[in-house]
Amino acid sequence: MIKIAIYGKGGIGKSTTVSNLSAALAEKGLKVIQIGCDPKADSTFGLHGKTSVKTVLELVRDRKDGFELEDMVTIGYKGVVCVEAGGPTPGVGCAGRGIMAALEKLEQKGAYEKYDPDVVFYDVLGDVVCGGFSMPMRGGHADKVFIVTSGENMAIHAAANIAVAIDNFKSRGYASLGGLILNRRNVKNEEEKVQELADDVNTSIVGTLSRSDTVQEAEEKGMTVIEAFPDSPMADEYRKLAETILKICEV
Catalytic residue among 14, 78, 105, 109: 14
DSSP-assigned states of every residue in 134-158: GGGGSTTS-SEEEEEE-SSHHHHHH
Is 90 in contact with 5 (CB distance < 8 Å)?
A: no
Residue 127 bears catalytic tag = yes
3-class DSSP state for residue 249?
Answer: helix
Q: What does the DSSP 8-state code read for residue 87?
A: -
Catalytic residue among 42, 71, 127, 167: 127
Beta-bridged to residue 83, according to DSSP, are 35
Separation of CA 171 from chain center: 24
Residue 3 bears catalytic tag = no
In angstroms, what CA-CA distances link 250 with 2, 96, 136, 144, 153? Answer: 8, 29, 19, 10, 32
Residue 62 bears catalytic tag = no
Catalytic residue among 3, 9, 105, 109: 9
Question: Following CA atoms 14, 239, 134, 49 in sequence, which dihedral angle do they give, to the nearest 10 degrees?
Answer: 60
Is 163 in contact with 147 (CB distance < 8 Å)?
A: yes
In angstroms, the CA 16 to CA 12 distance is 9
At CA 19, angle to CA 124 and CA 136, rounded to 5?
Answer: 25
Is 182 in contact with 155 (CB distance < 8 Å)?
A: no
Is 119 in contact with 25 (CB distance < 8 Å)?
A: yes
How are beta strands 81-84 and 74-75 bridged, if at all? antiparallel
Catalytic residue ranges? 9, 14, 40, 127
